[in-house]
Amino acid sequence: MTLLGFSKNKLFYTRTMYNMITPDMESSPFDNLPMPDSDAALLELQQPCELPACPTFNAPIAGPSIPSTDDYPGSLSFQLSWQQCSIAKSATWTYSPDLNKLYCQIGKTCPVQLRVTTPVPTGCVVRAMPVYKKADHLTEVVKRCPNHEISKEFNDGNNLAPPSHLIRVEGSVQADYVDDHSTGRQSVRLPYEPPQVGTDFSTVLLNFMCNSSCVGGMNRRPISVIITLEASDGQVLGRRSFEARICACPGRDRKSDEENLRKQEREQEREQQGPARVTPPPPPPPLAVNGGIRNNLVLPASGQITLSSDSEGPSVRVFTGKRLRKAHYLATKRSRLDEKEELFLIPVRGRENYELLLHLKESLEMKQLVPQQAIETYRQQQLHQQQQLVPRIMKALVKKEHMDKRDDKSPPEK
Closest C-alpha to 1, from 24, 23, 17: 17
Quick one: how far is CA 159 from the chain centroid? Answer: 35
> What's the CA gap between 96 and 103, in Å, rounded?
8
Q: Is the CB of residue 102 less than 8 Å from the CB of residue 110?
A: yes
Burial of residue 192 (CB within 10 Å: 0-12, 13-18, 19+) is buried
CA distances from 27 to 2, 5, 18, 20 (A): 20, 22, 11, 13
* Annotated binding-site ranges: 145, 148, 210, 214
Q: How far apart are CA 208 and CA 243, in angstroms?
A: 13
Known binding positions for Zn(2+): 145, 148, 210, 214
C-alpha 133/C-alpha 157 separation (Å) is 32
Q: List, as one string, the DSSP characters of 160-180.
A: -S-TT-SEEEES-TT-EEEE-
Of 101, 111, 107, the closest CA to residue 222 belongs to 101
CA–CA distance, 409 with 402 (Å, rounded to integer):
11
Taking the C-alpha atoms of residue 222 and residue 102, their distance in angstroms, rounded to an integer, is 11
Contact partners, residue 160, CB within 8 Å, separation at least 6: 173, 175, 177
Helix and strand totals (H; E) in the chain: 6, 17
Q: Could you give the 3-state DSSP secondary structure of residue 309?
A: strand
* Vertex 366: Cα angle to 364 and 367 (nearest 5): 65
Q: Which amino acid is at 121?
A: P
Residue 332 DSSP code: -
**DSSP at 324:** G
d(CA 141, CA 280): 59
